[in-house]
Amino acid sequence: MPHYQWEVRSSSGGIESGRLMAESSSAASTMLRKQGHHVLKLSKMADRKFEWSRIREVLNYGTGPSQKEVLDFTVQLAVMVRAGINLRLALDGIADQTKNVKFRSIIRQVRADVESGLSFSDAIAKHPKLFNSLYVNMVRASEMSGSFAKMLDRIAGFTSQQLETRKMVVGASIYPGVIATMAIGVTVFLLTFVLPRFAGVFEGKEEVLPGPTTFLMGLSGWMVNNWQLLIGCLAGLGIVLVLGLKTARGQLWRDLCKLKAPLFKPMFRALYVSRSLQTMGELLNAGVPVLDALGVTADISGNRLYRNLWRRVQSSVREGRKIHEELEQSTLLPSSVVQMVSAGEESGRLGEVLEEVAEFYQRALRDAIKAMTSMIEPILIVVMGSIVGFIAMAIILPIFKMSSLVSG
């Protein structure tokens, strides 16, 4: 069956393009008109061109959609729904413009579920890796209140802010990792390639070598002679670490380390506090019940200690207690935050208060990232310089000592 390249004017007035498979050009034109499009151009695609495009699609199919693509989808859907376009047609149009093949397939599945009678929130809930519980609950609340387009805008704004926050945190975490990797690489290079070249020079003169030189020459010789064992031990340690972090206890230990590490602690605490409060504030302002909002906040928090805290709060509220009563028993949230939560509960403006506090901690997060990067850079430079300087000193000192013995 031949394939056709098309260009149409959609019901919203925009120009769209794509391709489809049909028995003839008239059949392809009919299919497009049934979707509410005005056909501007329709041409049969050459077989070779289509084969190459199909090959590219197959190669790209395994690439899952990113959160940036989900954000773009949300923004486009909000604009089209606000313009009065039917949800099915809006999903059709977005799917045709989506380049990621896997995401396009998911959007079309969502459209099919909506056509079969499911609500949009139930349709996207089938894809939890793409649309998290926050997204689903906010959409579900908007479906009950009739503010679908407005809620999509709020979801898009929240997602955009979370992506920006994640970008800042990842960027701040990558920098020290790169510097540390370079320091280790330089050290290994010096020990395995540079120091062995001096072994012949120092051979037979071990009694006059300084302590640092003797130690480094011994370490260098062991690494050169046992490099297979060293690589095997490092690989084994890496495997044990990866497998351990997949267990509940390993993940709890990792999350605890994030909150205890001296340089990283302020950044991660600000991240988890702002994320938790912003999530809960968004849900409460969207009309989601408190118990459901607490459950979603626990899932979205990103740290097992905070997740356990919000689940304890959820259980406490289910028993009839106030939110701040359980928070007062924990050290994960500052006392000032707990006081503002208490004030928000008393005034009935908890959602608004939480969003204001979350904005404050967003600024605190940015400040913490700047402070961490400004502190960690000189520390890593000093550590790297000390290692290289120690190795250089261990090489130069015996040369000076031997030259002084010869001249003496």
Burial class (CB in 10 A: 0-12, 13-18, 19+), 154: middle
Q: Are residues 142 and 191 in the same domain?
A: no
Q: Are residues 319 and 197 in the same domain?
A: yes
Residue ending a domain, among 110, 138, 160, is 160
- What is the domain count for the chain? 3
CATH of the domain at 116: 1.20.81.30
Tokens of 223: 């690494």
Tell me, yes or no, if the pTM score tops 0.75: no
Q: Give the Cα separation of 401 and 214 in Å (integer).
A: 14
Give CA angle at 72 (67, 77), nearest 5°: 125
The pLDDT tens digits along the chain (408 residues) read: 577 777 777 766 667 777 777 777 777 777 777 777 777 777 777 554 444 444 444 444 445 688 888 888 988 888 888 888 888 888 888 888 888 888 888 998 998 888 888 889 899 988 888 888 888 888 888 887 777 888 888 888 888 888 888 888 787 778 777 877 887 888 888 888 877 877 777 666 666 677 778 888 888 888 888 888 888 998 999 899 888 888 888 888 988 988 888 878 888 898 889 888 888 888 888 888 889 889 888 888 888 999 999 999 999 999 989 998 889 888 888 888 899 999 998 888 888 899 889 889 888 888 888 888 788 778 878 888 888 888 888 777 777 766 665 554
- Domain range holding 101? 67-160
18's enclosing H/E stretch is strand 15-21
Q: Are residues 281 and 143 in the same domain?
A: no
Q: Give the Cα separation of 264 and 260 in Å (integer).
A: 8
Q: Are residues 72 and 150 in the same domain?
A: yes
Tokens of 122: 């139930």
Tokens of 356: 């204001």
